[in-house]
Amino acid sequence: MHQNKIMKRFSIFILAVFSQLYGKTQPGDLKLVDWHPKSMLIVAETRVLKPRFPVIDMHNHLGHLQNAEKYLEEMDKAGVVACVSLDGRSAKDFYKEHLRVSQKISKERFIVFFRPDWTKIDEPDYGRKEAKKLEEAVKMGARGVKVAKDLGLMAKDKNGKLIPVDDSRLDPIWAKCGELGIPVLMHVTDPKAFFTPTDQFNERYEKLSVHPDWSFYGDQFPSKEEILEQRNRVMRRHPNTIFIGAHMGCLPEDLGTVSLWLEQFPNFYIEISARIGELGRQPYTARKFMIKHQDRILFGTDSYPDAEAYRLHYRFLETSDEYIDRSAGSKNHHERWMMYGLYLPDEVLEKIYNKNALKILAMYKGER
């Protein structure tokens, strides 16, 4: 028995050495996380260096703008004329510094959106005070409001209760946006798979295994459907305010429902950031959707300005290329599936790239 154990260990050692020397992996030894297959498919690969029309990136996070000069360089390479930073946080008055730095570099190229501070929601007259702070930020140059997914999913009041998206204490903020003529860009919820069990049926199992904190499955969280309905109730209550649904309205897996929302709410727009993978795996449906709703769709990336990442988006939107690998030049590669290009008509591309954004930004009612 002892001799058998020795022989078994020796065999394992020899196999390990052999594998290292010859680069061979034994069947069953490879972990999914280490599997990076190279496609053998030979298909057209179109290199799109510059977009058909100038681009406005309506969804980005530029942090402290410490790399602003690099961002401008990448934007110039890729034909991006302006970029919206959604990091103008109200907390600790960070928005003031963000505006100061961005305007010092370029008032035209960097556009800052104000992000409300939910931690003060229990204070008396919170909504009116935060709306006043927003108004001050707009006078300084802010041109929109960003709502992150913590609202409805993580942010809580003093009683430990989740703050719903349609909490009435927030109404003065949405109303003020309508009064000022600035949009509210809302990211509420995450991919549908993040709200289901992390098991063998979850299409994002690999990503959730690496980031288990990205899962919102369980009784401690509202359902994805409830949070989206909370958002829709806000849009019903504030028809004079423009709302932009981040990440394809936060439901790219069901474009039929998003289409119904766009028909139901004339004050609702959507943007494509970090969801071209979802669109690219349903190219026929996505192309019809983009053409049908061409007046209500905005361009966005949700990644630091990077020429190659932008060019990947252009290739997806402008060409009929097949089986596009998103891992090249993309910082939002969350799944293994490939994309297929939408080859959108020029009139649609121009609206998505800049015309729709210009229309929304022109609604600002303050000093010109």
- Residues 16-24, mean pLDDT to the nearest whole number: 51
Separation of alpha carbons 199 and 205, rounded Å = 7
For residue 164, the model assigns a pLDDT of 98
3-state class of 243 per DSSP?
strand
Asked if 278 and 337 count as a contact pair (C-beta separation under 8 A), the reply is no
Segments in the chain forming alpha helices (H): 2-22, 68-78, 94-105, 126-140, 171-180, 205-210, 224-237, 246-249, 255-264, 276-280, 283-292, 307-318, 346-350, 356-361
Separation of alpha carbons 137 and 177, rounded Å = 12
pTM, full prediction: 0.91
Check pLDDT > 90 for residue 368.
no
pLDDT band at 329 (very low <50, low <70, confident <90, very high): very low
Separation of alpha carbons 35 and 206, rounded Å = 11
78-135 pLDDT, tens digit per residue, is: 999 999 999 999 999 999 999 999 999 999 999 999 999 999 999 999 999 999 999 9
Looking at the DSSP bridge assignments, the partners of residue 57 are 83
203: which 2 tokens? 């299409």
Check pLDDT > 80 for residue 337.
yes
CA 56 to chain centre: 15
Question: Which value, in Å, is the radius of gyration of the alpha carbons in the chain?
Answer: 23
Asked if 354 and 55 count as a contact pair (C-beta separation under 8 A), the reply is yes
pLDDT band at 341 (very low <50, low <70, confident <90, very high): very high
Separation of alpha carbons 241 and 227, rounded Å = 19
CA angle 289, 292, 297 (to 5 degrees): 75
57: which 2 tokens? 């990136």
Looking at the DSSP bridge assignments, the partners of residue 184 are 145, 243
Q: Which of 143, 61, 131 is nearest to 107 (CA)?
A: 143
Largest CA distance in the chain: 88
pLDDT band at 327 (very low <50, low <70, confident <90, very high): confident
pLDDT band at 1 (very low <50, low <70, confident <90, very high): low
Q: Whole-angstrom distance between the N-terminal and C-terminal Cα of the chain?
A: 88
Helices (H) then strands (E): counts for the chain = 14, 8
For residue 278, the model assigns a pLDDT of 96
- Residues 230-234, mean pLDDT to the nearest whole number: 98
Class at the top of the CATH hierarchy for domain 31-361: alpha beta
3-state class of 87 per DSSP?
strand
Q: Which of 298, 294, 285, 291 is nearest to 255 (CA)?
A: 285
